[in-house]
Protein backbone atom coordinates (compact mmCIF):
# COMPACT_ATOMS: atom_id res chain seq x y z
CA UNK A 1 0.00 0.00 0.00
CA UNK A 2 1.29 3.49 -0.80
CA UNK A 3 0.39 7.01 0.12
CA UNK A 4 0.25 9.18 -2.99
CA UNK A 5 -0.75 12.62 -4.10
CA UNK A 6 0.34 12.54 -7.73
CA UNK A 7 2.41 10.76 -10.37
CA UNK A 8 6.00 10.70 -11.52
CA UNK A 9 7.04 12.99 -14.34
CA UNK A 10 7.93 11.51 -17.70
CA UNK A 11 11.07 11.72 -19.78
CA UNK A 12 12.36 11.31 -23.29
CA UNK A 13 15.44 10.62 -25.24
CA UNK A 14 15.25 6.85 -25.75
CA UNK A 15 17.22 4.23 -23.87
CA UNK A 16 15.61 1.66 -21.57
CA UNK A 17 14.85 -1.74 -22.99
CA UNK A 18 16.66 -1.02 -26.28
CA UNK A 19 20.03 -1.06 -24.53
CA UNK A 20 20.86 2.46 -25.72
CA UNK A 21 21.81 4.82 -22.91
CA UNK A 22 19.47 7.81 -22.50
CA UNK A 23 20.75 11.27 -23.39
CA UNK A 24 21.08 13.63 -20.45
CA UNK A 25 20.01 16.68 -22.39
CA UNK A 26 16.45 15.37 -22.40
CA UNK A 27 16.44 15.02 -18.63
CA UNK A 28 18.12 18.22 -17.46
CA UNK A 29 16.63 19.85 -14.37
CA UNK A 30 17.55 22.41 -11.78
CA UNK A 31 20.74 21.49 -9.95
CA UNK A 32 18.90 21.32 -6.64
CA UNK A 33 15.35 21.19 -5.30
CA UNK A 34 13.76 22.48 -2.13
CA UNK A 35 13.57 19.40 0.11
CA UNK A 36 10.99 21.06 2.38
CA UNK A 37 8.45 21.63 -0.38
CA UNK A 38 5.53 19.29 -0.98
CA UNK A 39 6.13 17.16 -4.06
CA UNK A 40 3.79 14.59 -5.56
CA UNK A 41 4.89 10.97 -5.77
CA UNK A 42 3.94 7.65 -4.15
CA UNK A 43 5.29 7.00 -0.65
CA UNK A 44 5.12 3.54 0.95
CA UNK A 45 3.34 3.53 4.30
CA UNK A 46 6.10 1.31 5.71
CA UNK A 47 9.14 -0.62 4.42
CA UNK A 48 6.96 -3.71 4.05
CA UNK A 49 4.79 -1.77 1.58
CA UNK A 50 7.74 -0.75 -0.61
CA UNK A 51 7.18 -2.72 -3.84
CA UNK A 52 10.63 -4.00 -4.73
CA UNK A 53 9.39 -5.98 -7.73
CA UNK A 54 9.38 -2.74 -9.73
CA UNK A 55 13.03 -2.17 -8.90
CA UNK A 56 14.68 -5.59 -8.72
CA UNK A 57 12.63 -8.01 -10.85
CA UNK A 58 15.44 -10.57 -10.81
CA UNK A 59 15.11 -10.85 -7.03
CA UNK A 60 11.45 -9.87 -6.63
CA UNK A 61 9.57 -11.08 -9.73
CA UNK A 62 5.97 -9.93 -10.01
CA UNK A 63 5.05 -13.60 -10.36
CA UNK A 64 6.63 -15.01 -7.21
CA UNK A 65 6.53 -18.49 -8.69
CA UNK A 66 9.26 -17.45 -11.11
CA UNK A 67 11.82 -17.43 -8.28
CA UNK A 68 11.57 -21.19 -7.96
CA UNK A 69 12.75 -22.00 -4.45
CA UNK A 70 10.21 -20.36 -2.19
CA UNK A 71 12.42 -21.02 0.84
CA UNK A 72 15.14 -18.65 -0.38
CA UNK A 73 14.61 -15.24 1.16
CA UNK A 74 15.13 -12.32 -1.22
CA UNK A 75 17.88 -9.87 -0.21
CA UNK A 76 17.11 -6.48 1.29
CA UNK A 77 18.43 -3.15 0.08
CA UNK A 78 21.73 -2.50 1.87
CA UNK A 79 23.12 0.65 0.21
CA UNK A 80 21.32 3.99 -0.23
CA UNK A 81 22.65 6.87 -2.33
CA UNK A 82 20.78 9.93 -1.09
CA UNK A 83 20.44 12.56 -3.79
CA UNK A 84 21.86 10.17 -6.38
CA UNK A 85 21.80 12.62 -9.31
CA UNK A 86 22.36 10.86 -12.64
CA UNK A 87 23.28 7.56 -10.98
CA UNK A 88 27.03 7.48 -11.56
CA UNK A 89 27.84 6.15 -8.11
CA UNK A 90 25.27 3.35 -8.36
CA UNK A 91 26.69 2.27 -11.72
CA UNK A 92 30.21 2.27 -10.26
CA UNK A 93 29.22 0.36 -7.12
CA UNK A 94 27.12 -2.30 -8.85
CA UNK A 95 29.99 -4.51 -10.14
CA UNK A 96 32.00 -3.98 -6.94
CA UNK A 97 29.18 -5.36 -4.79
CA UNK A 98 27.13 -7.61 -7.10
CA UNK A 99 25.42 -9.32 -4.17
CA UNK A 100 24.18 -6.08 -2.56
CA UNK A 101 20.95 -4.35 -3.51
CA UNK A 102 21.37 -0.57 -3.82
CA UNK A 103 18.95 2.25 -4.39
CA UNK A 104 19.34 5.87 -5.40
CA UNK A 105 16.96 8.37 -3.82
CA UNK A 106 16.34 11.47 -5.93
CA UNK A 107 13.80 14.29 -5.59
CA UNK A 108 13.92 15.67 -9.14
CA UNK A 109 11.50 13.85 -11.42
CA UNK A 110 13.38 14.23 -14.72
CA UNK A 111 16.65 13.11 -13.16
CA UNK A 112 14.92 10.10 -11.60
CA UNK A 113 13.52 9.14 -15.00
CA UNK A 114 16.99 9.40 -16.52
CA UNK A 115 18.44 7.01 -13.94
CA UNK A 116 15.59 4.55 -14.51
CA UNK A 117 16.26 4.56 -18.25
CA UNK A 118 20.01 4.31 -17.69
CA UNK A 119 19.63 1.25 -15.47
CA UNK A 120 17.25 -0.44 -17.92
CA UNK A 121 19.65 0.23 -20.79
CA UNK A 122 22.61 -1.17 -18.85
CA UNK A 123 20.66 -4.31 -17.98
CA UNK A 124 19.61 -4.79 -21.60
CA UNK A 125 23.15 -4.42 -22.97
CA UNK A 126 24.83 -6.34 -20.12
CA UNK A 127 22.64 -9.38 -19.34
CA UNK A 128 23.01 -10.53 -15.75
CA UNK A 129 24.55 -7.26 -14.63
CA UNK A 130 23.16 -4.13 -12.96
CA UNK A 131 20.15 -6.05 -11.63
CA UNK A 132 21.10 -4.90 -8.13
CA UNK A 133 20.64 -1.13 -8.63
CA UNK A 134 17.57 1.02 -8.97
CA UNK A 135 16.22 4.49 -8.20
CA UNK A 136 13.16 5.92 -6.52
CA UNK A 137 11.78 9.42 -6.65
CA UNK A 138 11.29 10.52 -3.07
CA UNK A 139 12.22 13.05 -0.42
CA UNK A 140 14.77 11.29 1.78
CA UNK A 141 14.69 14.10 4.34
CA UNK A 142 11.06 13.25 5.10
CA UNK A 143 10.57 9.58 4.31
CA UNK A 144 13.69 7.52 5.02
CA UNK A 145 11.89 5.33 7.64
CA UNK A 146 9.16 4.58 5.09
CA UNK A 147 11.67 2.70 2.93
CA UNK A 148 14.06 0.96 5.32
CA UNK A 149 13.69 -1.12 8.44
CA UNK A 150 15.70 -0.60 11.60
CA UNK A 151 19.39 -1.51 11.08
CA UNK A 152 18.77 -2.48 7.42
CA UNK A 153 21.43 -0.38 5.67
CA UNK A 154 25.17 -0.96 5.72
CA UNK A 155 26.19 2.05 3.61
CA UNK A 156 24.69 5.50 3.00
CA UNK A 157 26.10 8.06 0.57
CA UNK A 158 25.71 11.84 0.51
CA UNK A 159 27.75 13.09 -2.44
CA UNK A 160 27.96 16.79 -3.26
CA UNK A 161 24.69 17.75 -1.54
CA UNK A 162 23.14 21.19 -1.92
CA UNK A 163 25.13 23.49 0.41
CA UNK A 164 22.19 25.80 1.18
CA UNK A 165 24.56 28.65 1.89
CA UNK A 166 22.13 31.02 3.62
CA UNK A 167 21.94 30.45 7.37
CA UNK A 168 18.14 30.47 7.27
CA UNK A 169 18.31 27.53 4.85
CA UNK A 170 20.69 25.38 6.88
CA UNK A 171 17.63 23.43 8.04
CA UNK A 172 17.40 22.12 4.47
CA UNK A 173 20.82 20.48 4.65
CA UNK A 174 20.70 16.73 4.27
CA UNK A 175 23.15 16.22 7.15
CA UNK A 176 21.96 17.55 10.50
CA UNK A 177 21.75 16.25 14.05
CA UNK A 178 18.04 15.51 13.66
CA UNK A 179 18.45 13.68 10.36
CA UNK A 180 21.42 11.70 11.69
CA UNK A 181 19.01 10.26 14.26
CA UNK A 182 16.95 8.86 11.39
CA UNK A 183 19.99 7.63 9.49
CA UNK A 184 21.28 5.92 12.63
CA UNK A 185 17.91 4.16 12.99
CA UNK A 186 18.04 2.57 9.54
CA UNK A 187 21.77 1.76 9.67
CA UNK A 188 23.16 -1.38 11.23
CA UNK A 189 26.01 -1.17 13.71
CA UNK A 190 29.22 -1.05 11.69
CA UNK A 191 27.51 0.61 8.73
CA UNK A 192 29.29 3.55 7.12
CA UNK A 193 28.13 7.01 6.06
CA UNK A 194 30.14 8.58 3.24
CA UNK A 195 29.95 12.34 2.62
CA UNK A 196 31.85 14.55 0.19
CA UNK A 197 31.53 18.16 -0.96
CA UNK A 198 33.58 20.80 -2.73
CA UNK A 199 32.25 23.48 -0.35
CA UNK A 200 34.60 23.74 2.62
CA UNK A 201 32.04 25.28 4.96
CA UNK A 202 29.58 22.48 4.24
CA UNK A 203 32.34 19.91 4.70
CA UNK A 204 33.09 21.34 8.13
CA UNK A 205 29.36 21.35 8.93
CA UNK A 206 28.84 17.70 7.99
CA UNK A 207 31.93 16.53 9.84
CA UNK A 208 30.94 18.54 12.91
CA UNK A 209 27.45 17.02 12.98
CA UNK A 210 28.84 13.52 12.68
CA UNK A 211 31.48 14.13 15.35
CA UNK A 212 28.85 15.42 17.77
CA UNK A 213 26.42 12.58 17.23
CA UNK A 214 26.80 9.80 19.82
CA UNK A 215 26.01 7.02 17.34
CA UNK A 216 28.78 7.76 14.84
CA UNK A 217 32.57 7.75 15.00
CA UNK A 218 35.18 8.64 12.38
CA UNK A 219 36.55 5.78 10.31
CA UNK A 220 40.35 5.59 10.80
CA UNK A 221 42.47 6.90 7.94
CA UNK A 222 44.12 3.52 7.39
CA UNK A 223 40.72 1.96 6.71
CA UNK A 224 39.70 4.78 4.38
CA UNK A 225 42.88 4.28 2.33
CA UNK A 226 41.98 0.66 1.50
CA UNK A 227 38.23 1.13 1.07
CA UNK A 228 37.46 0.63 -2.67
CA UNK A 229 34.38 2.83 -2.35
CA UNK A 230 36.29 5.98 -1.43
CA UNK A 231 37.80 6.57 -4.87
CA UNK A 232 34.33 6.52 -6.40
CA UNK A 233 33.19 9.38 -4.17
CA UNK A 234 35.13 11.89 -6.25
CA UNK A 235 35.19 10.15 -9.65
CA UNK A 236 31.87 8.40 -10.24
CA UNK A 237 29.47 11.34 -10.25
CA UNK A 238 28.98 14.18 -12.68
CA UNK A 239 29.57 16.67 -9.86
CA UNK A 240 32.81 15.03 -8.79
CA UNK A 241 34.11 14.91 -12.34
CA UNK A 242 33.33 18.60 -12.78
CA UNK A 243 35.24 19.49 -9.62
CA UNK A 244 38.21 17.44 -10.83
CA UNK A 245 38.21 19.11 -14.26
CA UNK A 246 38.25 22.51 -12.60
CA UNK A 247 41.05 21.53 -10.21
CA UNK A 248 38.79 21.97 -7.20
CA UNK A 249 39.28 20.64 -3.69
CA UNK A 250 36.96 18.18 -1.96
CA UNK A 251 36.18 17.57 1.68
CA UNK A 252 35.21 14.11 2.91
CA UNK A 253 33.72 12.90 6.16
CA UNK A 254 33.42 9.12 6.54
CA UNK A 255 31.89 7.80 9.75
CA UNK A 256 30.83 4.45 11.17
CA UNK A 257 27.60 3.67 12.95
CA UNK A 258 28.40 2.54 16.49
CA UNK A 259 26.34 1.15 19.34
CA UNK A 260 25.54 2.57 22.75
CA UNK A 261 24.94 0.34 25.77
CA UNK A 262 21.56 1.89 26.49
CA UNK A 263 20.45 1.95 22.84
CA distances from 132 to 28, 113, 119, 167, 261 (A): 25, 17, 10, 39, 35
At a CB cut-off of 8 Å and minimum separation 6, what does 176 contact? 170, 209
Q: Are 195 and 253 in contact (CB under 8 A)?
A: yes
∠15-20-26 over CA atoms, to 5°? 45
The CA-CA-CA angle for residues 123, 53, 185, to 5°, reads 105
CA quadruple 138, 141, 146, 148: dihedral sign:
positive
Q: Residues near 103 by Cβ (< 8 Å), separated by ≥ 6?
A: 55, 77, 79, 80, 81, 133, 134, 135, 136, 147
DSSP conformation class of 78? E
Distance of CA 197 to the CA centre of its chain: 15
3 state DSSP class of 137:
strand
| Catalytic member of 109, 131, 162, 198 | 162
Annotated active-site residue 162? The verdict is yes
Write out the catalytic residue numbers.
162
Amino acid sequence: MTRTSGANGGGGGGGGQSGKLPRKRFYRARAHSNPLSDSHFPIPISPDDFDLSQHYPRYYPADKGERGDEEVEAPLIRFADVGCGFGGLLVGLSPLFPDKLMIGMELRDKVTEYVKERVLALRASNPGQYDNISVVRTNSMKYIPNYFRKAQLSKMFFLFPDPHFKEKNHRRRVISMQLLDEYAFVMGVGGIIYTITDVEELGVWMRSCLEKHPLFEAVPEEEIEVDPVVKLLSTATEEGQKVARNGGQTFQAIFRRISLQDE
